[in-house]
Amino acid sequence: MKQATPRVTIWNEFRHERSDPAVQRVYPAGIHEALREGLAPYGFELGTATLDEPEHGLPVDVLARTDVLVWWGHRAHDEVDEAIVDRVQRRVLEGMGLIVLHSGHYSKIFKRLMGTSCALLWREADEKERLWVVKPSHPIAAGLPPFFELAKEEMYGEFFDVPDPDELVLVSWFEGGEVFRSGCAYSRGNGKIFYFRPGHETYPTYYDEHVLRVIANAVRWTADERGAAPRFGNVQPLETIAAKD
Amino acid sequence: MKQATPRVTIWNEFRHERSDPAVQRVYPAGIHEALREGLAPYGFELGTATLDEPEHGLPVDVLARTDVLVWWGHRAHDEVDEAIVDRVQRRVLEGMGLIVLHSGHYSKIFKRLMGTSCALLWREADEKERLWVVKPSHPIAAGLPPFFELAKEEMYGEFFDVPDPDELVLVSWFEGGEVFRSGCAYSRGNGKIFYFRPGHETYPTYYDEHVLRVIANAVRWTADERGAAPRFGNVQPLETIAAKD
Amino acid sequence: MKQATPRVTIWNEFRHERSDPAVQRVYPAGIHEALREGLAPYGFELGTATLDEPEHGLPVDVLARTDVLVWWGHRAHDEVDEAIVDRVQRRVLEGMGLIVLHSGHYSKIFKRLMGTSCALLWREADEKERLWVVKPSHPIAAGLPPFFELAKEEMYGEFFDVPDPDELVLVSWFEGGEVFRSGCAYSRGNGKIFYFRPGHETYPTYYDEHVLRVIANAVRWTADERGAAPRFGNVQPLETIAAKD
Amino acid sequence: MKQATPRVTIWNEFRHERSDPAVQRVYPAGIHEALREGLAPYGFELGTATLDEPEHGLPVDVLARTDVLVWWGHRAHDEVDEAIVDRVQRRVLEGMGLIVLHSGHYSKIFKRLMGTSCALLWREADEKERLWVVKPSHPIAAGLPPFFELAKEEMYGEFFDVPDPDELVLVSWFEGGEVFRSGCAYSRGNGKIFYFRPGHETYPTYYDEHVLRVIANAVRWTADERGAAPRFGNVQPLETIAAKD
């Protein structure tokens, strides 16, 4: 059955907000706290974790009781410990959901799970972004209008070097002339991953109702019920074909 | 939000069961009634419809209050009225779920929605079938073991002339040497479609707990919440790009 | 082996060019002749067919010796005979390539093969279109720059009601704020289909070198070598499993 | 244009063949030499490389002039240097083809590019394997019959923990009751990857004409022409929207 109450851990690098006044004004308590508040009405069990906590706030027991991990990082990707990346990857393949936001496209965990460079085009120019639903039948599109708009955002453009998404839910249009696959759904092992583009640290993107709705939908989709853990390895003895009667 | 109680209409051709004693013994009240009983524990609102009712039991108001339509047909595909096929196709594209069972692969509605011949190999030889989960992260695999077995079934073999499934959930192994893509998930328009292979009329397949679990999971998956109805057509006047401030 | 010289039939409705002076000025000999000239340097064997010829120019023998059919239609979709649509569909499933251009999205043959409404948003407002490559590894992207531009085109916008493309090669950006999946690759049966968006009849789109390059690449991709015709139907007697020695 | 003569480097671990008499009898000169001979009639430029050569036989200049790399490894995956894995991954993302054979599913380079565990079921029991074509329209299926058989092979079974293939070409049936997605095609970055299951070191699999045909087809498919290298990074200044006239 679907998790009655998905347990969500919101991971944030939490560096910009402590050192850059322009970001502090927008997210005084940090992006993770803005997301915790914004997601509160959706009825999830919400926790947070940040880079500078011990084990980046992600010890084994925290991950073990996390159904969905949300990831925002940017300038300190390299400081994330490989052992923690291994641990998160294993949990995703076991079935934990992972929602990667914006500049998290270059995080170690996303590159690890994608197998590609995850490179893209970008430009900071206060451009309008429009996000179009290209798969209305997907649960992550639930309750969305045909498109929604963010007045100012950083531009991300194609080619976005990720595997073709299993399901492409959103495509962005940017004022300056670029497009971007902004909502990309993947299955890996027994887990589900959703990459969602918006969220540059200098804009109030994570207060937008549509952005929050997409993240909440993605929590539900990645936390949804799935099959038992698969069997792997040597199977002996031969599972014989019973004679027909 | 997810439908609290999906409204399911089980459509059955209901001819074999009235004319063929071997089928009558297995499904005395019809395949639709066996499915209704088997799905009852899952808490859906369940109705039935059959070919020989007026409008094949699918008048506009019945379809309008159907969230998921289950379809079993075999020998009388040609007797299904084109106008009813049009009506069902429109409802699927609007968002109704459709679960097509076994010989329904050759139904007008499935061929219409797939665009291909939907041809395949087949053989009736009381063969063992094993269904393997190849996408454990999919909600339709929820609660399944790594594989499950049916002691005797009709064989269906590849090439199965359907579009590549958006998601391939189950692959069958047959005693005689064939394989088959047995659980195929599609999105079309705002609707979702699941093709599920087992269910030859002379075997008690629809009493099997795993088969029923797959169908119940598919009901939930196809009935799940989705986006608003998309806009189509001419959009005027030009939606202008607001000047940046 | 790859077809040394793919045999291409360019089908055009050929009505606008004979009745509308604005279109005549752009395509005096018809869109099909512009395409024939534009594709000539690529070394294909090129023929044409139009709606008002007997059997719409597509008798059995013409289709039998066609490796790739290119389709442009707009105002007279309804005049295409169902029997010809059946014939073309069968040939595609047997292995003939099909390239559907622009307003051909609403042709009977495309709707038949897709199984959906193929509806979309549109606007005629002389807008700039930029086509971005989102799958550079695809043969249809061969030789293209990261994006190319058309100074004025009709706008097509999402949601485009087609099945998720098997491979999404191009995404369009429009000046007025829309995006569109402009290069969509499909396999159906033993055949391949490519939908390519640009080409409104009042613009000189089919003289553009990048547009022609995409169409030529699509000819090669859809004409490429493939497997033998699949077997279908009842397979008897049982193909027994040989005893192991 | 398609590479007139793809340059192929066949990489082999080459340990079993030097230490295990049972393998020596089947592949006296090594699996790489058997593959070189078997592929010779297809007109490729063929080279080889092995684990115990300096830089595993894959210095920068060798990779730079390799269009397609074939990879067979098994017992010494851990001895492959991470720096060489980095180098091969970069070349694949730049556009080099990669064909991973059999036990190479557990190689560092395949796990790196997939992002998953690549685990599976297995059993050595001299079982018959049948490989069924499930996508006849794919160039890798060119010239194949509906299925082909290997009299004895190691069994690999599902769940195979890889991302859903972009295109699934072959599915295996095994005598003991398992199925396996045996021919899996992927695009990553500007490169293409094909995983092909058969080839346990104690069986003469790489002398089989159908197995060689699949590998040769995969060489052509992965070596095929593609788009120019994508642009990445900061794009400045703003690419302005030209005023409409």
Which value, in Å, is the radius of gyration of the alpha carbons in chain B?
Answer: 19
* Pairing assessment for the beta strands A233-234 and B167-174 based on DSSP bridges: unpaired
C110 occurs within a structural domain: yes
Given an 8 Å threshold on Cβ–Cβ distance, is C139 in contact with D230? Answer: no
Residue A93 contacts D where some CB pair is shorter than 8 Å = yes
Given an 8 Å threshold on Cβ–Cβ distance, is A232 in contact with D115? Answer: no
Best D226, D232, D239, D245 residue to mutate vs chain C (most C CBs within 10 Å): D226
Residue B244 has pLDDT above 80, yes or no: no
Given an 8 Å threshold on Cβ–Cβ distance, is A133 in contact with B191? Answer: no
pLDDT at D245: 34
ipTM: 0.93
Residue C50 has pLDDT above 60, yes or no: yes
CA–CA gap between residue B161 and residue C190 (Å, rounded)? 9
pLDDT at D236: 65
Which residues from chain C sit within 8 angstroms of residue D95, using beta carbons?
A: 137
pLDDT at D227: 64
CA quadruple A189, B198, B164, D143: dihedral positive or negative? Answer: positive
**What integer is the mean pLDDT of D192-207?**
98
Given an 8 Å threshold on Cβ–Cβ distance, is B137 in contact with A229? Answer: no
DSSP C197-210: ----TTS-GGG-HH
Given an 8 Å threshold on Cβ–Cβ distance, is B117 in contact with C163? Answer: no
Please name the helix (run of DSSP H) or strand (run of DSSP E) that holds residue C223, with its range, or none. Answer: helix C209-223
C128 occurs within a structural domain: no
CA–CA gap between residue C28 and residue C49 (Å, rounded)? 16
pLDDT at D229: 67
Residue B180 has pLDDT above 90, yes or no: yes
Q: Which of B197, B218, B190 is nearest to B122 (CA)?
A: B197
Per-residue pLDDT band at C179 (split at 50, 70, 90): very high
DSSP assigned state of C176: T
Give the tens place of pLDDT for each residue, B98-122. Answer: 999 999 999 999 999 999 999 999 9
- Least CB-CB distance to A136: which of B146, B175, B226? B226
D31 occurs within a structural domain: yes
CA–CA gap between residue C227 and residue C146 (Å, rounded)? 32
pLDDT at A244: 35
Q: Which residues contact D162 (CB under 8 A, 6 or more apart)?
A: D105, D114, D116, D118, D181, D184, D195
pLDDT at D77: 98
- The string over B187-199, giving b where at least 16 C-beta atoms fall within 10 Å of a residue's C-beta and e elsewhere, is bbbbbbbbbbbbb
Residue D223 contacts C where some CB pair is shorter than 8 Å = no
Residue C239 contacts B where some CB pair is shorter than 8 Å = yes
CA–CA gap between residue C242 and residue A121 (Å, rounded)? 58
Residue D240 contacts C where some CB pair is shorter than 8 Å = no
Q: At what angle do helices D209-223 and D31-39 cross, to 10 degrees?
A: 80
Percent of chain B with pLDDT over 70: 93
Given an 8 Å threshold on Cβ–Cβ distance, is C225 in contact with D143? Answer: yes
Give the tens place of pLDDT for each residue, A172-189. Answer: 999 999 999 999 999 999
Residue B122 contacts D where some CB pair is shorter than 8 Å = no
DSSP assigned state of C144: -
pLDDT at B233: 81
Residue C239 has pLDDT above 90, yes or no: no
Residue C5 contacts B where some CB pair is shorter than 8 Å = no
Residue B62 has pLDDT above 70, yes or no: yes
- Give Cα A139 distance to the centre of its chain: 15
Residue B196 near residue B73, CB atoms below 8 Å: no
pLDDT at C233: 81
**What integer is the mean pLDDT of D20-49?**
98
Q: Which residues contact A216 (CB under 8 A, 6 or more apart)?
A: A39, A42, A44
Give the tens place of pLDDT for each residue, A54-100. Answer: 999 999 999 999 999 999 999 999 999 999 999 999 999 999 999 99
**What integer is the mean pLDDT of C93-120?**
97
Question: Which residue type occupies A32?
Answer: H
pLDDT at C236: 65
pLDDT at C104: 98
Best B85, B106, B118, B121 residue to mutate vs chain C (most C CBs within 10 Å): B121
Best D103, D126, D188, D193 residue to mutate vs chain A (most A CBs within 10 Å): D188
Residue D164 near residue A192, CB atoms below 8 Å: no
C243 occurs within a structural domain: no
Which residues from chain A sit within 8 angstroms of residue C173, using beta carbons?
A: 173-174, 177-179
pTM of the model: 0.95
D92 vs A242, which has greater pLDDT?
D92
pLDDT at D231: 76
Residue D241 has pLDDT above 50, yes or no: no
pLDDT at C232: 80
**What integer is the mean pLDDT of C115-127?**
95
pLDDT at C229: 66
CA distance D158 to chain B (A): 6
Residue C1 has pLDDT above 80, yes or no: no
Given an 8 Å threshold on Cβ–Cβ distance, is B115 in contact with C119? Answer: no
- Subunits in contact with chain A (3 or more CB pairs closer than 8 Å): B, C, D
Output the domain CATH number for residue A69.
3.40.50.880
B68 occurs within a structural domain: yes
Q: What is the rounded average pLDDT for all residues in chain B?
A: 93
Residue D169 has pLDDT above 50, yes or no: yes
A161 occurs within a structural domain: no
Given an 8 Å threshold on Cβ–Cβ distance, is A178 in contact with C132? Answer: yes
Given an 8 Å threshold on Cβ–Cβ distance, is C176 in contact with B238? Answer: yes
CA–CA gap between residue D230 and residue D211 (Å, rounded)? 34
Give the tens place of pLDDT for each residue, C143-162. Answer: 999 999 999 999 999 999 99
Q: Which domain holds residue B52?
A: 7-223
**What integer is the mean pLDDT of C68-84?**
98
CA–CA gap between residue B226 and residue B95 (Å, rounded)? 8
Per-residue pLDDT of chain A (245 residues; tens, 9 = 90+): 455 799 999 999 999 999 999 999 999 999 999 999 999 999 999 999 999 999 999 999 999 999 999 999 999 999 999 999 999 999 999 999 999 999 999 999 999 999 999 999 999 999 999 999 999 999 999 999 999 999 999 999 999 999 999 999 999 999 999 999 999 999 999 999 999 999 999 999 999 999 999 999 999 999 977 666 677 887 765 554 443 33
CA–CA gap between residue A220 and residue A70 (Å, rounded)? 12
Q: Which residues contact C37 (CB under 8 A, 6 or more apart)?
A: none
C166 occurs within a structural domain: no
Residue A172 β-bridge partners: A131, A180
Residue B239 has pLDDT above 60, yes or no: no
Residue B236 has pLDDT above 70, yes or no: no
**What integer is the mean pLDDT of D119-141?**
95
Residue B73 contacts A where some CB pair is shorter than 8 Å = no
- Subunits in contact with chain C (3 or more CB pairs closer than 8 Å): A, B, D
CA distance C48 to chain A (A): 35
Distances in Å between the Cα of C158 and the Cα atoms of B235, C72, D143, D187 are 11, 21, 39, 25
Structure tokens at A243: 């004679």
Give the tens place of pLDDT for each residue, C203-222. Answer: 999 999 999 999 999 999 99
Question: Which residue type occupies B174?
Answer: F
Given an 8 Å threshold on Cβ–Cβ distance, is D179 in contact with B172? Answer: yes
CA distance C236 to chain A (A): 18
Number of domains in chain C: 1
D157 occurs within a structural domain: no
CA–CA gap between residue A51 and residue A10 (Å, rounded)? 11
Given an 8 Å threshold on Cβ–Cβ distance, is C187 in contact with D226? Answer: no
CA–CA gap between residue D100 and residue D105 (Å, rounded)? 7
Given an 8 Å threshold on Cβ–Cβ distance, is A158 in contact with C130? Answer: no
Please name the helix (run of DSSP H) or strand (run of DSSP E) that holds residue D32, with its range, or none. Answer: helix D31-39
Distances in Å between the Cα of D102 and the Cα atoms of D85, D118, D184, D215 are 18, 12, 12, 12
Which residues from chain A sit within 8 angstroms of residue C167, using beta carbons?
A: 164
pLDDT at B225: 75
Per-residue pLDDT band at D242 (split at 50, 70, 90): very low
